[in-house]
Structure 1
Amino acid sequence: MNLFDLTGKIAVVTGASSGLGADAARAYAAQGADVALLARRKEKLDAVVKEIEATGRKALAVPCDVSKEDSVRAAVEQVLGAFGKIDILLNDAGIAQGGSVETLTEDQWDRSMDVNVKGIYLMCKYVVPGMRERKYGRIVNIASVNAILADKADALVRHVYNTSKAAVLGLTKGMAASYARDGITVNALGPGLFESEMTENTLFKHEAFMNMYNSLCPASRPGARGELNGPVLFFSSDACSYTTGQFIVVDGGFSIT
């Protein structure tokens, strides 16, 4: 039996218009799942949907701002109307706001917490009831290595990012304990530095930072596209039936202590 086979499963991916979210959506489809892709940029979602549909799987683009309850409610209703159920929820939508507690504005703080933490809460609020009813669900929350490891370079301080991603771990553990009896697993992944739309115009442009990262990382490089897909598929599949409330860091060994 292929424990990673997702045939017949319906997966929902937030932040699916680019980067790690889009990669995960493609990986789900490659394992046989039909996929609903949620993000604010509809035109980018449509491009990923076309790629997935070309493989023979069904895909649906759903505009959604995960920080707004009305938007989340409408998006989940649209997915259920199209597919009838949700088996897998990958909460990937997130932003990486720079700044310290001294320099961050209140709006920057609130926006980061709204997207990175409130967004997961809202998606789960509307997806979990159906999973509980059917006694099956796989929820995967994308946190970050920065949930447990601070950026130490002054130019790259991200206090609200650290805070929001640490909060994701607390929410993951709480939900995992509450819903295990309902056949729902809830786990989190902590990517290190990966190639993505979010990083290519920020961290990847800091030559000194990249040299430092590569010298300190045992793998001597950032993560490549697709290298998060294996852990995503593990937490999303029946291979994860007895694993819940866990956090796996995927960072090439950067966080080894």
Structure 2
Amino acid sequence: MGARTVHQLFDLTGRTALVSGGSRGLGLQMAHALGEAGARIMLCSRKPDDLEQAVGDLQAAGIDARWIAADCAKEEDVARLVDQTLHRMGDIDILVNNAGATWGAPAEDHPVEAWDKVMDLNVRGYFLLSQQVARKSMIARRSGRIINVASIAGLNGNPPFMKTIAYNTSKGAVINFTRALGAEWGAYNITVNAICPGFFPSKMTAGLLSTVGEDKMAAAAPLQRLGDDEDLKGVCLLFASDAGKHITGQWLAVDGGVSAVIG
């Protein structure tokens, strides 16, 4: 058998993807990318109304999509999410860990309970969901793709106007979690990679962008713009498909070049 074409390598027909935090923003963008390549999509987040609207958008685009409400910081919710996904859609081929939280406060005044909330969802939640999916689907089949959404906030410190110590710490942890898990689970033919977005307009960044200004934030990037509703699609599909089958334990910044300047 000869080498496959590019179209064949990127084709996800017949595969199932579970996307946490998939009801809006970057998660929904990646769900569209996977669905447009042929995957069936299961979305999860905490809010049923948001999920129902997001699944409606995906279905309107001709994508087979469903939803389950779950809090990925809770172990019992994660187990239920994975069990119900397997029951309703069969084996999980692709996992996108995207559910996340942030909190803005000076480090000296940062509430401990807010630190715990951010770390529980952004780090512990990724571990719990990866572990459940691998145990119940990927390891036995010796096949799987895990994509962790980190951030360029995990690569460096912040400018003085940004005070998000818990978020930065959690995303730095996600990057090394990706390296360690990719190294360990390569034996099962499971790839684990991370995407590090820069500044994208979203609910999470709305406060920062309104304070600093979108023009000023865009001007800090070599490409002179913020991320848009297409910019994560290509890297997500690369990591999810056979086109990226020899890539694991890696991270890629999608930030308009910001990390190249401050890195």
TM beyond 0.5: yes
Alpha-carbon distance between aligned partners in 2 of 1:193 and 1:79, rounded to the nearest angstrom: 31
2:159 pairs, out of 132, 152, 161, with 152
Alpha-carbon distance between aligned partners in 1 of 2:167 and 2:80, rounded to the nearest angstrom: 27
Q: Which residue identity lines up with residue 109 of structure 1 in the other structure? A: W
* Match of residue 259 from structure 2: 255
Structure 2 unmatched ranges of 5 or more: none
2:67 pairs, out of 56, 61, 73, with 61
Q: Work out the number of aligned pairs and report it.
A: 254
Find out whether 1:203 has 2:211 as its counterpart. Answer: no
Q: TM-score, normalised by structure 1?
A: 0.95
Q: TM-score, normalised by structure 2?
A: 0.93
Alpha-carbon distance between aligned partners in 2 of 1:237 and 1:119, rounded to the nearest angstrom: 24
Alpha-carbon distance between aligned partners in 1 of 2:62 and 2:198, rounded to the nearest angstrom: 32
1:140 pairs, out of 144, 147, 152, with 147
1:95 pairs, out of 94, 98, 101, with 101
Shift, 1:211, TM fit: 4.1
Residue deviations 1:141-166 (CA, integer Å, cap 9, x gap): 0000010122212x321111110000
Residue deviations 1:21-47 (CA, integer Å, cap 9, x gap): 011111111110000001001111111
* Match of residue 112 from structure 1: 118
2:238 aligned counterpart, secondary structure: helix
1:20 pairs, out of 26, 33, 39, with 26
1:61 aligned counterpart, secondary structure: strand
Whether contact under 8 Å (1:196, 1:225) holds in the other structure is no
Whether contact under 8 Å (2:209, 2:217) holds in the other structure is no
1:39 pairs, out of 21, 31, 45, with 45
Alpha-carbon distance between aligned partners in 1 of 2:253 and 2:175, rounded to the nearest angstrom: 12
Residue deviations 1:66-111 (CA, integer Å, cap 9, x gap): 0000000001111000111000000011112112321111100000
Q: Which residue identity lines up with residue 159 of structure 2 in the other structure? A: K
Alpha-carbon distance between aligned partners in 1 of 2:224 and 2:66, rounded to the nearest angstrom: 38
Q: Which residue identity lines up with residue 252 of structure 1 in the other structure? A: G
Alpha-carbon distance between aligned partners in 1 of 2:260 and 2:174, rounded to the nearest angstrom: 21
Whether contact under 8 Å (1:195, 1:225) holds in the other structure is no
Alpha-carbon distance between aligned partners in 2 of 1:215 and 1:75, rounded to the nearest angstrom: 41
Alpha-carbon distance between aligned partners in 2 of 1:73 and 1:233, rounded to the nearest angstrom: 26
Find out whether 1:235 has 2:239 as its counterpart. Answer: yes
Alpha-carbon distance between aligned partners in 2 of 1:144 and 1:221, rounded to the nearest angstrom: 17
Find out whether 1:51 has 2:57 as its counterpart. Answer: yes
Alpha-carbon distance between aligned partners in 2 of 1:48 and 1:215, rounded to the nearest angstrom: 31
The percent of aligned pairs where both chains have the same amino acid is 38
* Match of residue 214 from structure 1: 218
Q: Which residue identity lines up with residue 139 of structure 1 in the other structure? A: I
2:182 aligned counterpart, secondary structure: helix
Whether contact under 8 Å (2:107, 2:163) holds in the other structure is no
Whether contact under 8 Å (1:100, 1:160) holds in the other structure is no
Alpha-carbon distance between aligned partners in 1 of 2:55 and 2:216, rounded to the nearest angstrom: 37
* Match of residue 181 from structure 1: 187
* Match of residue 82 from structure 1: 88
1:168 pairs, out of 167, 174, 181, with 174
1:119 aligned counterpart, secondary structure: helix
* Match of residue 244 from structure 1: 248
> Which is further off, 97-106 or 37-46?
97-106
1:197 aligned counterpart, secondary structure: coil
> Which is further off, 211-220 or 31-40?
211-220
1:198 aligned counterpart, secondary structure: coil
Whether contact under 8 Å (1:109, 1:160) holds in the other structure is yes
Q: Which residue identity lines up with residue 61 of structure 1 in the other structure? A: W
